[in-house]
Amino acid sequence: MTQSRNEPLAGEERSTRRRTVLAALGALPVLTAASSVARASDAGVVTAAATAVIDPSATRQTIRGFGGMSHAAWIGELTAAQRDTAFGTGDGRLGFSLLRIPVPEDRAAWNRDLATAKRAVELGATVIASPWNPPASMVETFVHGSQTDARRLRYDMYGAYAQHLNDFNTYLRNNGVNLYGISVQNEPDYAHDWTWWTPTEMVRFLRENAGSIGTRVIAPESFQYLKNMSDPILNDSAALANVDIIGAHLYGTPFANFPYPLFKQKGAGKELWMTEVYYPNSSDSADLWPQALDVGEHIHRAMVDAEFQAYIWWYIRRSYGPMREDGGISKRGATMAHFARFVRPGYVRVEATAKPATDVYVSAYRGGGSTVVVAVNKGAAAVSQQFTLANSAGPSVSTWLTDASRNVASQGTTAVSNGSFTVTLPARSMMTFVIR
The residue among 403, 344, 341 whose CA lies nearest residue 92 is: 341
49-61: b (≥16 Cβ within 10 Å) or e? beebbbbbeeebb
For β-strands 181-183 and 126-131, DSSP reports them as parallel
| Residue type present at position 213 | I
CA–CA separation, 365 and 94 (whole Å): 18
The residue among 6, 61, 8 whose CA lies nearest residue 252 is: 6
CA dihedral (207, 211, 213, 216) positive or negative: positive
Catalytic residue among 7, 187, 221, 271: 187
3-state secondary structure of 41: helix
Question: Is 307 annotated as catalytic?
Answer: no
DSSP element (H, E) containing 163 = helix 158-174
Q: How far apart are the first and last CA of the chain?
A: 41
Catalytic residue among 7, 105, 276, 297: 276
Instruction: With both helix axes pointing from N to C terminus, report the angle between 199-208 and 227-234 in degrees, rounded to the nearest 10.
Output: 30
Which residues lie below 8 Å from residue 210, measured CB to CB, with a gap of 6+? 162, 184, 217, 219, 239, 242, 243
Residue 204 backbone dihedrals phi, psi, to 5 degrees: -60, -45
Question: Is 77 annotated as catalytic?
Answer: no
CA separation, residue 169 to residues 118, 125, 243, 316 (Å): 14, 17, 16, 22
Alpha helix (H) ranges present in 113-157? 114-122
Upper half-sphere CA count for residue 189 (Cβ side, 13 Å):
21
Active site residues: 187, 276
